[in-house]
Each structure stands twice: as C-alpha cells, then as structure tokens.
Amino acid sequence: MRRQIVAGNWKMNKTHDEAIELIENILNATYDDSVQLIAIPPSVYASEIVGKVVGSKMGVGVQNSSQHAAGAYTGELSSAMVKSIGVEYVLVGHSERREYFNEQNSVLAKKIDQLLANDLTPIYCCGEVLEEREAENHFNIIKNQIEEGLFHLTEDQLQNCIVAYEPVWAIGTGVTASSDQAQEMHHFIRSLLIEKYGLDVANTISILYGGSCKPSNAKELFANPDVDGGLIGGASLNASDFVAIANSFS
Ligand code: PGA
C-alpha cells in the first residue's frame, strides 16, 4: 500500500571520484528491489549519478532547491533545473537547512509548491530539538511543521510527497530514537494527515525515520507499522552499510 523507501543523504561529503565509487558500489550490491532506494548526492554530481542509475531501481534526489522559479538568485538551484537533469526527489527542510540557513516553514511550503509544479517529489523533513523534547513540546513542534509545510496542499499534491521524521537530537549523534519513540511520532504524524486528508490519503504517504539509523537498528525501526523506511546520513556514505539498511525490511 505504501512504498518502502531508503534514501541516502550524502550531505556535503565526497569528492567526485569518491561519489562515483560510492554509487557504483551500491548499484553493484544485491538489494531488495521492492524497496525504493534514493541517492541524494551533492547536486554538483547529480547529473552524472542520474546517468549511472539508468536501468536500476535507484532514484536520485538533491538536498535543496529554491522557492523561486528562476532569476537573479545567485548560487541557487531551481526546481525546473533539477527536473531537467532527471532528478526525481528533493529534500525540503532538513534540520541543517532550518538551523544553519534559517529556513522557516513558510519558505519551505513555497519550495514544495515549486517542486510539485515541476513534477518532483519533495521529501519534507520535520523534527524537534532536544530541549523541545525535554520540555515535552515535541508533538506541538511537529504538528506546526507539518501544518505549515504541507497543509496548504490538495490531496493529490500531498500524495506526491514523502515525509521524513528526524529528531534533531538523533542526527549524526549516534543516539537513535528508540523504536517506540519513532513509532509514536510516526503514528502522530499519520494521525494529523488522517484528520486533514482522511484515512485513504494518509495511508498512501511514506513516512521515513532519520537520525543515526544504521544496519544494527534499521530492522527494529522499520518493523514499526508507521515507519516506512529511512533517511540515512552517515551510514549512507558506506555502500555496504547503506545496502544492509535497505535490506532491513522483514
Ligand atoms: P544521520 O543523518 O543518519 O547521520 O544521523 C540523518 C540525516 O540527517 O538525514
């Protein structure tokens, strides 16, 4: 009913030759092809990597794109440009973009509009920081991110989106959300989608977990009914770890 997805966010890592070696090693490995794999390299390599994945089940994404359609925005990438090189997915609102580039929900909603207008699939990231969880404010934070980022969309538009829950305190820290914590928040996100869009629509949306997901914990995380896969950072930089995670659906 929902796609199982494992996406690798390479962030700002790998030189050209390293990036090509990584994608080739992933493509040469044996992975469960009922799982949608997505490589999200630095955008400078995206075009070449799109060429490499032809004929495989791997999709390609980039890590960011502009809320503007075109014009004098030095350094930015438009959705149309990304689409024109064969990329299919774009991360929106990763916590590092929210924190270091001050991206607010209102801007992220506009980025999503640009992506959908260009027939691209947004992977919309949400997540709370440690202080918010400790203050027991995490459900409110996520509700706000989901509502402000997504709730202006029509049913059809929402069905072209993927959601990623990434507790910020688990990203790159080695501390993973427990399987119960992940399921609890994924279930909460799905209940928000059910309330707004109804059960049938909400049940088609893949919700990925991100934050120190690795081969040793992926199986337990992915076994949860509302966890439809992972958005993998550090472990996606190693082909055998990434493929082991992709093979962790039971
Ligand atoms: P991590 O990063 O797997 O290194 O914690 C996840 C992400 O930021 O997407």
The CATH number linked to 18 is 3.20.20.70
Mean per-residue pLDDT of the chain: 97
**Would you call 167 helix, strand, or coil by DSSP?**
coil
* 10 contacts 42 by C-beta, under 8 angstroms: yes
For ligand 1, the distance from its centroid to the CA atom of residue 49, given in whole angstroms, is 21
**Which letter, b or e, does each residue of 85-114 get, where b requires 16 or more Cβ atoms within 10 Å of its Cβ?**
bebbbbbbbbbbbbeeeebebebbbebbbb
146, two tokens: 């989901």
Distance CA 176, CA 55 (A): 34
pLDDT at 179 (0 to 100): 96
What mean pLDDT is predicted for residues 24-49? Answer: 95
Predicted local distance difference test score (pLDDT) of residue 144: 98
Which tens digit of pLDDT belongs to each residue from 62-86?
999 999 999 999 999 999 999 999 9
Report residue 31's pLDDT band, with 50, 70 and 90 as the boundaries: confident
220 is catalytic: no
88-126 per-position pLDDT tens digit: 999 999 999 999 999 999 999 999 999 999 999 999 999
pLDDT score, position 250: 78
Query: How many domains, the chain?
Result: 1
Query: How many angstroms is it from 167 CA to the middle of ligand 1?
Result: 10
How far is ligand 1, taken at its centre, from the CA of residue 74, in Å?
Answer: 28
Reference 166, options 149, 189, 134; nearest CA is: 189
Residue nearest to atom 3 of ligand 1 (CA): 233
Amino acid making up residue 169: W
Atom of ligand 1 nearest to the CA of 213: 3
Percentage of the chain beyond pLDDT 90 is 95
> Is 211 within 8 Å of 176 (Cβ atoms)?
yes
Stretch 158-177: mean pLDDT? 94
Q: Report the separation in Å between the CA atom of 205 and the middle of ligand 1, taken as the mean of its atom positions.
A: 21
Least confident of 30-39, 95-104, 127-136, 217-226: 30-39
Contacts by residues 69-77 (CB-CB < 8 Å, ≥ 24 positions apart): 69/114, 77/43
Sequence-separated (6 or more) residues with CB below 8 Å from residue 43: 62, 63, 64, 77, 82
Tokens 């791997």 appear where?
58
Which residues, judged by CB distance below 6 Å to any ligand atom, belong to the binding site of ligand 1?
Answer: 9, 166, 171-172, 210-213, 231-235
Pocket test for ligand 1, best of 40, 213, 217, 242 (most atoms within 8 A of CB): 213
Kindly report, residue by residue over 199-211, the tens digit of the pLDDT: 999 999 999 999 9
pLDDT at 174: 87
| Structural domain boundaries, residue 96 | 5-246
Closest C-alpha to 97, from 157, 37, 173, 9:
9
- With H, G, I as helix, E, B as strand and everything else as coil, classify residue 86: coil
Point out the ligand 1 atom lying closest to the alpha carbon of residue 234: 4
Distance from the alpha carbon of residue 159 to the mean position of ligand 1, in angstroms? 24
* Per annotation, catalytic residue among 103, 166, 184, 220: 166
Task: Select which of 94, 128, 132, 186 is catalytic.
Answer: 94
